Amino acid sequence: MANAAKSPAEIVIRGPIKSKTVFPVLVLHLLGEQPDTGSGLMARIEALCEGLLAPNTNTIYPLLRRLEERGFIVGEWEHPTKRSRRYYRITKAGIERLDRIKTGMLPYLEMLAASVARLRGELYATAS
């Protein structure tokens, strides 16, 4: 069964899609709400996902660099003359990218939610 194809829901939550789609959409979404630092974003993602997705520095900072290189976010040092905390904010291109990702991700999230609801209903249904 190890070679069996993963379900789309599993692909969204685990594996490379998580760092290529789930984390980017969360970072863009959260920066759309307010500018933040890398460590601030990690804390907000972990709190939002209640531990299901726990980003680390090896995930978040390379992602922030990629998003910045692509023009989706802009980072600025808190103190321009010395290295300090770097605050990131979303750009217009980032908002457009966020909208595209959200549109493509919605069917998978709906499928995941329906699967969890069916499982819950099956396991915890009360007899009529």
Indicate whether 12 pLDDT > 80: no
As a whole number of angstroms, the distance between CA 28 and CA 90 comes to 6
Number of neighbours of residue 94 by Cβ within 10 angstroms: 23
pLDDT tens digits, 31-82: 999 999 999 999 999 999 887 777 889 989 999 999 999 999 999 998 878 7
Domain boundaries, the chain: 9-122
* 74 strand-pairing partners: 89
Tokens of 54: 């726990």
CATH fold, domain 9-122, is Arc Repressor Mutant, subunit A (1.10.10)
Q: Which pLDDT does position 16 carry in this prediction?
A: 45
Beta bridge partners of 88: 36, 75
Vertex 50: Cα angle to 90 and 43 (nearest 5): 45
